[in-house]
């Protein structure tokens, strides 16, 4: 039996970037990816030599490890394309290994020794890409691997494409892509359309040159000639907007190539510099001498801008490039806005001299930086930053080493601002704490109310006189109220509001019953054998009432006229089944007594409570009286 995920639907256009050159690129890359040497980890506790040889013959790089060595593997440090698990037993070990692998988003195949539906269902909970029952056809496995690797490659490419689309559509720059053959515009973002005052549909399919002023045509033609040779450049363009106004842009243009090196498009990113141009012209007209300086500065800016990638500059994250000592080399606009300092003011300043990183986090931050410089891998970590107004910002820091001459010369730090996320997290924690306090207060008040009911029952006992039956009824009712009150008291005192320490509860309720019936421990001993069990309130309340009823019966009836004996209460579990036993070595029940036929409200209540917890009650009268109840913990039922 083979279980595989569906092949991704190519018609899912709502998640596709509607640009022909990019869709073509995705298709080509995903098809070519199937021919590359894939890295496969084979986890098996049996003889896997034949399977390993098959995988290698299919041009895969294979590493075979035993399950005992999996714990020592740092999956975050491995580059894997696929993991195959071939374990005979136990299932839990396979599932534990699978969960670690799926955290890395690595495709996974199980080789199963059984077609049992329940076992297959357990494996499918880990969401593997394939489950294959042994014995299997090697050809079936070969093409299953090929399809899974193809799907995973396609998914990664589409994720990359979605990221590119999001960046392009949200950037403040105007973006245009033209076909190198027809020179027609095949894509623009909304920002570029807004700059020109047109709808997207009015620009796509037309030559960008149509929107330029006449004096720009020759320069634009020369730029197109250069870009065909692979040259990247920055140029200022003068556009005529739809309303006739002038738009000046600084365009950073570069050719686009597919995986085979074919020139498939020209990308240009346009920064609106209209205001800057107007200001420059005003300065030129005012002072000839200033004109020279402005031109020099413009050239310096142009040369400087060539050093930066657009993604680095315009990213909303705080990006900074530092050398091996922590001295700042480059920063982006987001960081200058945060610090209130210019790029020139930040360059050449060491991080430990800059009031940027929170003083309490500085040592840890620099420690991670020097670990990266030393060649060690450091995962993302949180660090606090201070802005120009000393406001606190939380950042998620990722450090990437940059090599030069086989040595780490620089480190690129990308800091994502998670301040709002932290604020929301703290609000959630505060809200949760308030709810926990409220729940504790509710349990406390329920317990107090039950104590009031208990006091009322005791008060009523004072007025029944010699009516022994009424006295017994009231006393039994009081015991039941007290057993429930103790449940809520245990919850109130517990650090875990969802579960109750049942061993402690049993000792409390038994002690209370001894005091109630004024039974001396020297006369009737109590043996409590309870393992460390914690029940939810759904199970604890009925179990508490059952124990109260049966222990009360033993204290009242099993040892008449000062007879000595023992009462045993035990609670143990096996897997997910619990066994509660309450017994005494007293005078016992009549020989003809049967469960369900004994005329007693208390025992009838016990039967009802056993049914409530979906348990099974048995009675042994061979040596005194012994009640055994087997049950499973009830699941919490949502009431709202």
Does residue 359 sit within a domain? yes
- Is residue 569 a contact partner of residue 551, using CB atoms and an 8 Å limit? yes
Identify whether 296 is part of a domain.
no
Supply the CATH number for residue 606's domain: 3.30.565.10
Please provide the average confidence, as pLDDT, over all residues in the chain: 80
Answer yes or no: pTM beyond 0.95. Answer: no
Could you tell me if 533 and 431 lie in one domain? Answer: yes
Indicate if 366 and 493 belong to the same structural domain.
Answer: no
End-of-domain residue from the set 417, 439, 458: 417
Per-residue pLDDT tens digits for 352-361 = 888 899 999 9
Q: Is residue 303 part of a domain?
A: no
Say whether both 49 and 154 belong to one domain.
Answer: yes
Same domain, 483 and 586: yes
Report residue 5's pLDDT band, with 50, 70 and 90 as the boundaries: very low
Which structure tokens are listed for 215?
A: 């004096």
Same domain, 460 and 548: yes
Across 48-57, 242-251, 415-424, least confident range: 48-57
Residue 599 structure tokens: 């005329």
Question: Are 377 and 404 in a shared domain?
Answer: yes
403 pLDDT higher than 70: yes
Assess whether 562 and 470 both reside in one domain. Answer: yes
- Residue 297, domain member (yes or no): no
Domain boundary residue, one of 370, 393, 417: 417
Query: Within a domain: residue 544?
Result: yes
Same domain, residue pair 613 and 503:
yes
Its sign, for the CA torsion 212, 216, 222, 223, is negative
- Sheet with 246-257, side-by-side order of all strands: 185-188, 174-178, 263-272, 246-257, 233-240
Please say whether the beta carbons of 549 and 488 come within 8 A: no
Is the per-residue pLDDT at 526 higher than 70? yes
Quick check: is 293 in a domain? no
Q: How many domains does the chain have?
A: 4
CATH number at residue 380: 3.30.450.20
Output 76 or 462, whichever has higher pLDDT: 462
44 pLDDT above the threshold of 90:
no
Give all strands of the β-sheet with 392-404 in edge-to-edge order: 328-331, 318-323, 407-417, 392-404, 381-386
Domain at 109, CATH number: 3.40.50.2300
Q: Sorting pLDDT into bands at 50, 70 and 90, what band is 450?
A: low
Q: Is 384 exposed, middle or buried (0-12, 13-18, 19+ CB in 10 A)?
A: middle
Q: How many CA atoms lie within 13 A of 285 on its CB side?
A: 6
Residue 638 maps to a domain = no
Output the six-digit token pair for 329: 């080399």
Band the pLDDT of 305: cuts 50, 70, 90: low
Nearest CA to 627 out of 592, 579, 591, 555 is that of 579
- Percentage of residues in the chain having pLDDT higher than 90: 20
Lookup: tokens for 428: 């959630």
Q: Under DSSP, is residue 198 helix (H, G, I), strand (E, B) or coil?
A: coil
Same domain, 441 and 395: no
Q: C-alpha angle 438/443/447, rounded to 5°?
A: 145
Residue 235 CA to residue 308 CA, distance in Å, equals: 15
- pLDDT winner (highest mean) among 335-344, 458-467, 509-518, 623-632: 623-632
- For residue 602, give its domain range: 425-632
Do 429 and 575 reside in the same domain of the chain? yes
Are both 148 and 10 inside the same structural domain? yes
| C-alpha–C-alpha distance, residues 312 and 135, integer Å | 53
* Predicted pLDDT at 45: 67
SS3 label, residue 455: helix
Range name among 76-85, 303-312, 386-395 with the lowest pLDDT average: 303-312
Please indicate, yes or no, if residue 571 is contained in any of the structural domains: yes
256 and 325 together in one domain: no
| Helix axis angle, 502-516 to 537-553, nearest 10° | 30
* Res. 67 pLDDT band, cuts 50 70 90: low
Could you say which of 245, 268, 287 is where a domain stops? 287
């Amino acid at each position: 039996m083979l279980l595989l995920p569906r092949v991704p639907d190519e018609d899912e256009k709502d998640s596709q970037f509607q640009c022909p050159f990019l869709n073509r690129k995705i298709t080509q890359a995903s098809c070519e990816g199937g021919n590359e040497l894939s890295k496969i980890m084979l986890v098996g506790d049996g003889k896997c030599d034949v399977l390993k040889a098959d995988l290698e013959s299919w041009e895969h790089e294979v590493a075979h490890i035993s399950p005992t060595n999996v714990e020592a593997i740092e999956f975050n440090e491995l580059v894997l394309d696929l993991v195959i698990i071939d374990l005979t037993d136990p299932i839990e070990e396979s599932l534990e290994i699978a969960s670690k692998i799926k955290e890395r988003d690595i495709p996974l195949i199980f080789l199963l020794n059984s077609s049992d539906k329940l076992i297959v269902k357990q494996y499918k909970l880990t969401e593997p890409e394939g489950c294959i029952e042994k014995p299997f056809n090697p050809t079936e496995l070969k093409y299953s691997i090929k399809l899974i690797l193809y799907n995973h490659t396609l998914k990664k490419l589409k994720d990359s494409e979605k990221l590119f689309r999001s960046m392009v559509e949200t950037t403040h720059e105007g973006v245009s892509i033209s076909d190198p053959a027809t020179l027609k515009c095949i894509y623009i973002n909304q920002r570029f359309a807004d700059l020109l005052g047109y709808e997207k549909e009015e620009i796509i399919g037309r030559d960008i040159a149509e929107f330029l002023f006449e004096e720009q045509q020759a320069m634009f033609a020369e730029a197109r000639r250069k870009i065909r040779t692979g040259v990247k450049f920055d140029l200022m363009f003068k556009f005529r907007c739809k309303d006739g106004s002038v738009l000046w842009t600084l365009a950073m243009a570069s050719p686009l190539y597919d995986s085979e090196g074919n020139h498939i498009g020209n990308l240009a990113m346009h920064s609106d510099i209209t205001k800057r141009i107007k200001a420059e012209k005003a300065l030129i007209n005012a002072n000839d001498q200033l004109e020279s300086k402005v031109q020099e500065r413009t050239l310096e800016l142009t040369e400087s801008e060539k050093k930066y990638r657009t993604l680095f500059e315009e990213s909303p994250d705080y990006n900074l490039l530092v050398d091996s000592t922590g001295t700042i080399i480059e920063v982006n606009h987001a960081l200058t806005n945060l610090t209130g300092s210019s790029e020139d003011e930040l360059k050449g300043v060491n991080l430990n001299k800059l009031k940027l990183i929170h003083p309490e986090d500085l040592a840890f931050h620099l420690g991670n930086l020097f670990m990266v410089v030393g060649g060690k891998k450091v995962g993302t970590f949180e660090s606090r930053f201070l802005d120009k107004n000393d406001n606190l910002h939380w950042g998620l820091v990722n450090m990437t080493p940059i090599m030069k001459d086989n040595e780490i010369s620089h480190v690129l730090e990308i800091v994502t601002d998670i301040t709002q996320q932290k604020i929301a997290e703290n609000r959630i924690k505060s809200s949760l704490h308030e709810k926990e306090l409220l729940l504790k207060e509710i349990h406390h008040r329920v317990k107090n109310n039950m104590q009031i009911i208990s006091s009322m029952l005791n008060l009523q006992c004072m007025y029944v006189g010699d009516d022994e039956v009424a006295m017994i009824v009231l006393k039994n009712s009081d015991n039941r109220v007290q057993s429930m009150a103790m449940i809520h008291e245990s919850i109130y005192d517990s650090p875990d509001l969802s579960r109750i320490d049942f061993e402690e509860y049993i000792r409390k309720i038994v002690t209370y019953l001894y005091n109630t019936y004024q039974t001396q421990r020297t006369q009737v001993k109590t043996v409590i054998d309870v393992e460390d069990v914690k029940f939810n309130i759904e199970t604890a309340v009925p179990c508490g009432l059952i124990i109260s009823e049966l222990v009360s019966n033993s204290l009242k009836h099993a040892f008449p006229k000062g007879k000595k004996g023992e009462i045993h209460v035990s609670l143990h579990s096996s897997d997910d089944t619990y066994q509660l036993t309450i017994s005494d070595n007293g005078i016992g029940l009549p020989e003809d007594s049967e469960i369900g036929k004994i005329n007693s409200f208390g025992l009838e209540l016990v039967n009802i409570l056993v049914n409530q917890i979906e348990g099974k009650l048995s009675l042994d009268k061979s040596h005194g009286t012994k009640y055994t109840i087997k049950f499973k913990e009830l699941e919490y039922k949502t009431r709202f």
